[in-house]
C-alpha cells in the first residue's frame, strides 16, 4: 500500500505526491492555523457583529481545510459589507461572479496558503485572477495520453451538467456555453503544455 512505502525512496510516488506527503506529514496544521488566524479572522474582523459572521467563518474554514486535504493551495477571499465569500482557485469561475451592487467597495484578497502570503487586490485584479483558471502544476508530467486523461478527469469531476468531456474541444465547448473564461484560459495552457511534451 502507498502509505507503507518509504517516502523518499519509493518508485510508487510521483514528485507531486512526494511534495503532498511531506506537506501532510509536517505542515498541514500550521498552514491551516496561519490561514485561520492571520488571514480569515484578520480580514473578516469588520464583520464580527453581522448576523451571519459565525456561519460564514465556519464555512470558510471548512473550505480551507478541505482544500488543503485535496492539495488546493490558493483562493480568492471577498469581504463584502454583509459577509464573506471564499472562491478556490482550483475551480472554474468567472469574473462576472464579482459583479454585485456595491462590489467596488468590497475587499479582495488572494491567499497563497503554502507560502503564507496574502495579497490585497483591486476588483479588476481579482476578476483577472478568477478568469485565469486553475494552474497546471498539480498535474503529472507523464505521456501526452496520460496527461490528457488526467485533464479530462479533472474537468469532468467539477460537476458540470454536461455529458463527460472526451476531448479538449469538449472542455472548450463547456467553457463557451457557461461563459467561463477560466475554462478557456485553462485549456489554452493545457494545449501549450502538450505542444512541448514528447
CA distance 78 to 92: 16
139 is a domain residue? no
Please tell me whether residues 52 and 123 are part of one structural domain: yes
Based on the domain organization, do 113 and 151 belong to the same domain? Answer: no
Q: What range does the domain containing 65 cover?
A: 2-132
Residues 6+ away with beta carbon under 8 Å from 41 = 57
Mean pLDDT over all residues of the chain? Answer: 85
Are residues 97 and 51 located together in one domain of the fold?
Answer: yes
The per-residue pLDDT for range 6-32, each reduced to its tens digit, is: 333 333 334 344 444 444 444 889 999
137 falls within a domain: no
76-97 pLDDT tens trace = 999 998 899 999 999 999 999 9
- Specify whether 42 is located in the same domain as 122: yes
Whether residue 82 lies inside any domain: the answer is yes
Q: What is the pTM of this model?
A: 0.81
Check whether residue 101 and residue 66 sit in a common domain. Answer: yes
Total domain count for the chain? 2
Amino acid at each position: 500500500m502507498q502509505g507503507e512505502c518509504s517516502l523518499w525512496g519509493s518508485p510508487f510516488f510521483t514528485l507531486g505526491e512526494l511534495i503532498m506527503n511531506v506537506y501532510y506529514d509536517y505542515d498541514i496544521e500550521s498552514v491551516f492555523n496561519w490561514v485561520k488566524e492571520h488571514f480569515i479572522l484578520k480580514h473578516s474582523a469588520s464583520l464580527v457583529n453581522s448576523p451571519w459572521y459565525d456561519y460564514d467563518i465556519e464555512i470558510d474554514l471548512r473550505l480551507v481545510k478541505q482544500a488543503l486535504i485535496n492539495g488546493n493551495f490558493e483562493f480568492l477571499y471577498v469581504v463584502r459589507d454583509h459577509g464573506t465569500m471564499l472562491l478556490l482557485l482550483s475551480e472554474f469561475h468567472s469574473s462576472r461572479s464579482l459583479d454585485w451592487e456595491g462590489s467596488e467597495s468590497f475587499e479582495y484578497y488572494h491567499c497563497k496558503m503554502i507560502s503564507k502570503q496574502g495579497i490585497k487586490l483591486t476588483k479588476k485584479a481579482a476578476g483577472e485572477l478568477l478568469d485565469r483558471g486553475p494552474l497546471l502544476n498539480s498535474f503529472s508530467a507523464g505521456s501526452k495520453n496520460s496527461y490528457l486523461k488526467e485533464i479530462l478527469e479533472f474537468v469532468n469531476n467539477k460537476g458540470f451538467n454536461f455529458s463527460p468531456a472526451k476531448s479538449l474541444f469538449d472542455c472548450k465547448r463547456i467553457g463557451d456555453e457557461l461563459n467561463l473564461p477560466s475554462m478557456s484560459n485553462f485549456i489554452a495552457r493545457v494545449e501549450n503544455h502538450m505542444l512541448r511534451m514528447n
